[in-house]
Amino acid sequence: MANQTMSVSKLDQLPEAARDRIEQLRLLFIERSKGHLVQIQELASKRQFASETQAADADLMKLAHSLVGTSGIFGFQALGEAAFKLENTVRENGYSEADFTEAMAGLIEQLNALA
């Protein structure tokens, strides 16, 4: 299970049925994150071809943006920060491959931490 926890103070204020539903959605998010990891790795491999880099970067930016929002909802702060870093790195014109590699590694590390 994930080693990151949600803020219990906010959850404690909700009815039990709502807490149960949020936990179900949280577990679904964790399960889907495995698919996100595969998708990120596929997009990273497409970047090896100059003709596909721009499209792969656009898809990476969309996926990272989505992860920023959803990870925050479920209390995965570090994942959201890593996704935000990748999104902003890719958004910059002329970013360095070193910055890209660092941002990708951080996001992959956080996604792996959910498993």
pLDDT reported for residue 90 = 94
Contact of 85 with 111, CB cutoff 8 Å: no
- What average pLDDT does range 32-37 have in this prediction? 92
**If 0-12 CB within 10 Å is exposed, 13-18 middle and 19+ buried, where does residue 11 land?**
middle
Which domains are seen in the chain, by residue range?
A: 15-114 (1.20.120)
- What average pLDDT does range 68-96 have in this prediction? 93
- Average confidence score pLDDT of the chain: 89
pLDDT reported for residue 1 = 42
pLDDT reported for residue 72 = 87
pTM: 0.83
Say whether pLDDT at 24 is over 60.
Answer: yes
Say whether pLDDT at 88 is over 90.
Answer: yes
